[in-house]
Amino acid sequence: MSAYLPNIEELQRLSRRAEVLTDAEVERVVQSARATRLQLDDLASLVKTVLAAPHSTPSEIILRHAEAIRQELFGPYVIPMAPVEISNACASDCMFCGWRASNREMKRLRMPLDLLLLQVEYLLDLGIYYIEFVSGDDIGVVRDLLPQLIRETRELFSERGVEGKISFCTLSLTESQYRMLVEAGADSMIVWQEAYQPDVYRAHVVGGPKAYGLTEDWKVPVGADGWAFRVQSQERALRAGLEVAVGTMLGLNPDIITEFLATVEHARHLIDRYSPTEKHPLIVGMPIWNPITTRRTDKRPSEVPDMVALFPIFAALYLLALPTRSVWVFPNCRVPLQTQVQAVKVAGVFTSTEVKLGPGGYLPALISKMEAGGQDTVALRKRLAAMLRDAGESVDELARALDEREQFVHHYHAHEIYVREMERHGLQILRGVHLPACEVPSVAQNSTYLPNCL
């Protein structure tokens, strides 16, 4: 079996031919998700029905059935994760992104190793053991700093007796480069495709390694196909020994049905070929096209689909398409807290909680925590202010300046607020990276299993 590339023409055909379903037809289709893998044409019709009337009875049916399946598969449990931003420097030029190379208003910052590790410790103290290291397409940072950061984070886990996981979200790499990060101690990678439709991808991604890929010696090849290099990055990572994530940026391509189908088809290809497990799951992410922090340079059109309103429904659709404990739907904080919690309740078992998406973003909260414990933070505040060069030394000033370096506008709440809000909706955020065991009934090889984890 060759590496996955979407048959976009066929997926577009399914998108065009999809019909708006009646309430009874939606009920019939979603009920069948408990027994068999839903066909792509049925999924296309479900999406088209939702897009035609997001607040209608069909959406309620989809949400209800997905929540029941999520409860049977995962019970109340939720695995929390948090990103730690290394650098917002970027060699790629993606028109939708605040970190794009051509965005002269973005203030750039690379975090040194010791300040990155301080933030990891801050998150471990919160009980978040799934740590994701994030950077723009900063080749030097990924090549030189990331392996050392991964090794020292693994040592922190060992010192604290934590069974944690280390993920990274950077530019797409070659198999040997992924293997280098596995040898350093990495567990997983995250790469969002942004757009599976090649012409949409190339219209938005116009320069750098994201547009053309990367060679073994960390060079950007002139004129190469960065779209295909990115689509196939998960398989290179899996062969290197990493867990992987897939996802498209919902709203970037106006043909949302085609993008949804491609994401599902890609996930199914990886499931069939590489057999993820609940200990080593495949993650299906849900990035959406949010405004960027440098508003004057935002190229996002004024009219885009309201993916915030649709967010829980698409989470539910992903779960109905991929109902197994070895696939974790990943709602994130690009939507308001209540929307994120609703998406988790109906489909998500893996989610971000306290998130700062700029390099050094957790340091103001860490400084406040240190001061509350009687520690002297003057040297740390002076050092950070000197690195920023556009902020005073107060916690509020530092927080403001660091938040301005974020990639997209997102919604911030402290971890304990997520814990309380999840509990209010019958969910339990775990201190760990694995789900509790539950019994899985013996079933036919090609059927969908729904263990009772209540």
Residues 99-152 pLDDT 10s:
999 999 999 999 999 999 999 999 999 999 999 999 999 999 999 999 999 999
Task: Report pLDDT digits (tens) over 288-301.
Answer: 999 999 999 999 98
Q: Residue 348 gets which letter from DSSP?
A: B
User: Averaged over 299-323, what is the pLDDT?
Assistant: 93
Q: Any idea which of 94-108, 150-164, 281-295, 426-440 has the lowest mean pLDDT?
A: 426-440
pLDDT at 160: 97
Sole residue written with tokens 């790469």: 191
pTM of the prediction?
Answer: 0.95
Q: Name the class of domain 74-359+404-427.
A: alpha beta
Task: Report pLDDT digits (tens) over 405-414.
Answer: 999 988 999 9
User: Averaged over 55-76, what is the pLDDT?
Assistant: 97
Six-digit token pair at 8? 């976009």
By C-alpha distance, which of 311, 260, 199 is closest to 18?
Answer: 260
pLDDT at 450: 60
- Does the pLDDT of residue 54 top 80, yes or no? yes
Alpha carbons 101 and 85: distance in angstroms, whole number: 17
Alpha carbons 314 and 309: distance in angstroms, whole number: 10
- Does the pLDDT of residue 312 top 80, yes or no? yes
Alpha carbons 277 and 283: distance in angstroms, whole number: 11
- Does the pLDDT of residue 335 top 80, yes or no? yes
pLDDT at 443: 39
Task: Report the helix count and the strand count for the chain, using DSSP H and E.
Answer: 19, 11
The structural domains of the chain, with segments of one domain joined by +, span 74-359+404-427
Percent of all residues in the chain with a pLDDT value above 70, rounded to a whole number: 96
